[in-house]
Amino acid sequence: MTIEEIQKEIIEEFSVYDDWMDKYAYLIELGNQLEPLDPKDKTDQNLIKGCQSRVWFVTEIKDGKIHFRGESDAVIVKGLVALLLRVVSGRTPEEIMKNDLHFIDDLGLKQHLSPTRSNGLLAMVKQIRLYAVAYNRIES
């Protein structure tokens, strides 16, 4: 599936919930499905700056594609990590750089998160894009 197709799939999944409490519950469920990071990966180097909660991203490039793993110490943020990684992990740096992650706005996530969580979400997206730019330079 393309990044666009995955975003549409996520939007459809959330559309079955009318109430934001149900959407939060679904986010928490998604976060609980994330495979936990090894404690050795929870380093300052992997910590995302700008998040109130602690969020770690670990990346590796394999066959020209960036593979992300991540975790957070906050349940809703962990769900946000799960959504982001579902969209971008296993993609080429170019795919990540050229695609707008519009599902965040389409779902209304920024409007329904606290300002600190919304800022943290933007920090995660920014870091994903920075990884893509860096790996793109290495690969070319």
The one catalytic residue among 10, 30, 51, 128: 51
Tokens of 21: 């409490």
Q: 4-27: buried (b, 16+ CB within 10 Å) or exposed (e) per residue?
A: eebbeebeeebeeeeeeeebbeeb
- Helical H runs in the chain? 3-15, 20-32, 75-88, 93-98, 103-107, 109-112, 115-139
Which of 77, 80, 75, 106 has the alpha carbon at shortest distance from 4? Answer: 106
CA torsion 74-79-81-85 (nearest 10°) is 160
- Would you state the structure tokens that stand for residue 52, as one six-digit string? 């109130």
Is residue 96 among the annotated active site residues? no
Query: What are the residue numbers of the active site?
Result: 51
